[in-house]
Amino acid sequence: MITPVPGPRSQKLVSQLSDIQNTGAVQFFADYDHSLGNYLFDVDGNVLLDMFTQIATIPIGYSHPRLMEALRKPENIASFVNRPALGALPPSNWVNKLKDVLLAVAPPGMNHVQTMQCGACSIEHSQKAIFMWYQRHRRGGRPPSEEELRSCLSNLEPGTPKISVLSFYGGFHGRTMGALALTHTKWVHKLDFPQPDWPIAPFPRLKYPLEENTRENREEEDRCLNEVRELMDKWAKIGNPVAGIAVEPVQCEGGDNHASPYFFQTLQKIAKEHDAALLMDEVQTGCGSTGKFWAHEHFNLPQPPDVVPFAKKMMTGGFYFKQDFKPTEGNRIFTTWTGDPSKLSMLDAVVDVIQEEDLVNNTARVGRYLMSGLYEMQKRYPGMVMNARGLGTLAAIDFCDAETRDKAIYNMKQKGILIGSCGEKTLRFRPTLMFQEHHVDIFTDIFDNVLSGLKK
């Protein structure tokens, strides 16, 4: 570390940027030309071990040689310079790209996929696929009426139905209006924006260590599941039935809240009993960081979720869906670009590297090593850090309070560790899939040092 972070060059740039837009969320300016692997450079010449990776998005590290190569491949050039309206005029290699890249890593049992731009619009269009499916079943085979076709243009019933999506407190699904309707984390995401009044259920708050709190945790999960049932019955009764349930396999932004396979299996059962779809939001949890390619593979669900949106590490947005959720008409799930083939060119290289280097098993192994380090810290600093938990390297640990957590993050940044927060007082780990044991050692040393400095 050469300067404090943000350093003087970063601060100057922040001040210039603030003439153009709000900069309240800017941490520092990064030097991506020099960033490499797990290390992020800033404009003041500091080097940080990046354990937050651009909000969980950089799959195989900075400036990976295979990404540089993908950029230079003659067969990829057209995807970068001629962005198509994919839904109308797909490129000649599109079917093969979908098969070789996106379907090659599809969640077990799923073989339909739709590309999108980003996480939020993947959620938006997933919801639309669910609404169309729901209304099609409600109509029972009859075509939409003239009145439905006409009234929907004015946002009025019956063409604009009163149907809802159930979501969870602590859930985060994005910032556009439909995705935001399912998001319940911080006021900064939500205040002052009109939103539909849709049902919101509690998400389990498990007690750690899990093995010592089995009975209590099961009761907590049953409490939440019962509330889901009650809300679905209630919303059906008031004429705004639940067409789908939206849930993250791990609530990330909300505080890295986990639930058991039993919870998710029962949730799927409840959805089916109420003729609702199950939307499993894998935007942050997908693409290998949990020790499985998709986090919901940990749950042994009797059958696949109905729609699985993705983005972040997948580089492109999109969603997998079951056959029954395929729209029956063209132009219904459609945007101008409907995705970006250039991002799939990059993901192609990423998927190759993941498979060749067995990176999903890598995150499982390194995750175990990281967890053992976190358990050690809990022993060493009881009352300050607690509740270490994780799947693979998608891990977290709680602090005694937000202030101590934020100080720890700040102090770690000054010592060359970039890491993220979530929830009220949680530290979240989101390193690349290339993160290794020796990186864990670097982190643990500095974490130990920072915690000991915070201990009074």
In the region spanning residues 171 to 190, those forming contacts with its own copies, defined by CB under 8 A, are: 174-179, 181, 184-190
Question: Is 4 among the residues that bind its own copies (CB under 8 A)?
Answer: no
User: Closest distance between its own copies and the C-beta of residue 278, in Å?
Assistant: 19
Is the CB of 93 or the CB of 444 nearer to its own copies? 93
Residues 387-406 that bind its own copies (CB under 8 A): none
Interaction of residue 22 with its own copies, rule CB under 8 A: yes
Q: Is 109 near its own copies (CB under 8 A)?
A: no
* Amino acid at residue number 450: V
Compute φ and ψ for 447, nearest 5 degrees.
Answer: -60, -45
Nearer to its own copies, 187 or 302 (CB): 187
Catalytic (active site) residue 336? yes
Between the alpha carbon of residue 275 and those of residues 92, 133, 136, 140, 271, the distances in Å are 39, 10, 12, 13, 6
Task: Examine residue 153 and tell whether it contacts its own copies (CB under 8 A).
Answer: yes
Choose which of 20, 211, 215, 379 interacts with its own copies (CB under 8 A). Answer: 20
- Cα(317)–Cα(347) distance, integer angstroms: 11
Number of residues that bind its own copies (CB under 8 A): 127
Q: Least Å distance between CB 375 and its own copies?
A: 30
125 belongs to the binding site for its own copies (CB under 8 A): yes
Parallel, antiparallel, or unpaired: how do β-strands 200-201 and 30-36 relate? unpaired
Residue of 12, 73, 336, 358 with catalytic role: 336
Contacts (CB under 8 A) with its own copies, residues 219-278:
none
281 is catalytic: yes
Name 418's bridge partners: 50
Distance CA(407)–CA(371), nearest Å, equals 22
* Contact predicate 311/317, CB 8 Å: yes
Write down the least CB distance from residue 210 to its own copies, Å. Answer: 27
Does 124 contact its own copies by CB under 8 A? Answer: yes
H or E stretch covering 242: strand 242-247
The pairing of strands 417-418 and 47-50 is parallel
User: Of 114 and 266, which CB lies nearer to its own copies in the complex structure?
Assistant: 114
Nearest distance from C-beta of residue 292 to its own copies, angstroms: 22
Residue ranges in 305-344 that form contacts with its own copies under rule CB under 8 A? 311-312, 315, 326-337, 342
Alpha helices in 140-186 (DSSP H): 146-151, 177-180
Q: How far is the CA of 67 from the CAs of 39, 213, 340, 426, in angstroms?
A: 16, 45, 16, 33
Burial 348-359 (b: 16+ CB within 10 A, else e): bbbbbbbeeeeb
Here's the x/- map for its own copies, 48-87, by CB under 8 A: it reads as ------xx-xx---xxx--xx--xx--x-xxxxxxxxx-x
Active site amino acids: 172, 281, 312, 336
